[in-house]
Amino acid sequence: MRILIVEDNEAVSKVLRHLLMQELHCEVDIAADVSSANALLEQHSYFVVVAELNLPDAPDGEIAQLVLMSYQTPCIVLSSNLDARQRKKLLKLGIADYVLKENRFSYEYVVKLVARLDQNQHVKVLVADDSVVSRKFVKVLLEQQLFTVLEACDGAEAITVLNETPDIQLLITDYNMPNVDGFELILKVREKFSREDLAIIGLSNDTDESLSARFIKNGANDFLQKPFVHEEFHCRVLNTLDSLDMIRSLWEQANRDYLTKAYTRRYFLPNMKKMSLMLVNLHWA
- If one compares 264 and 75, the residue with the highest pLDDT of the two is 75
Residue 267 scores a pLDDT above 90: no
Mean of the per-residue pLDDT values of the chain: 88
**Bridge pairing between strands 148-152 and 199-204:** unpaired
Dihedral of alpha carbons 123, 124, 128, 132, sign: positive
What pLDDT sits at residue 231?
85
Query: What residues are paired with 170 via a beta bridge?
Result: 125, 199
Query: Is the CB of residue 124 less than 8 Å from the CB of residue 169?
Result: yes
* Backbone angles phi and psi of 264, in degrees to 5: -95, 175
Res 197: pLDDT: 87
Cα first-last separation, the chain: 50
Listed by start position, the domains of the chain span 2-119, 121-249, 251-284
pTM for the full model?
0.82
d(CA 18, CA 13): 9
Per-residue pLDDT tens over the stretch 114-167: 999 999 999 999 999 999 999 999 999 999 999 999 999 999 999 999 999 989
| pLDDT for residue 237 | 93
Strand 75-79 versus strand 27-31 pairing type: unpaired
Span of 134-138, 176-180, 230-234, 258-262 with lowest mean pLDDT? 258-262
Residue 28 has pLDDT above 80, yes or no: yes
**Which option is the CATH number for 121-249: 3.90.25.10, 3.40.640.10, 1.10.3720.10, 3.40.50.2300?**
3.40.50.2300
Q: Has residue 283 got a pLDDT over 60?
A: no
Tell me whether the CATH fold assigned to 2-119 matches the one assigned to 121-249: yes
Q: Which residues pair with 5 in a beta bridge?
A: 30, 50
Residue 168 burial class via C-beta count within 10 angstroms: exposed 0-12, middle 13-18, buried 19 and up? buried
Q: With pLDDT > 90 as the criterion, what percentage of the chain qualifies? A: 62
Residue 12: the pLDDT is: 92
Bond before 227 cis per omega within 30 degrees: yes
CA distance linking residue 41 with residue 44, whole number of Å: 5
CATH architecture of 2-119: 3-Layer(aba) Sandwich (3.40)
The rounded distance, in Å, linking the Cα atoms of 263 and 72 is 44
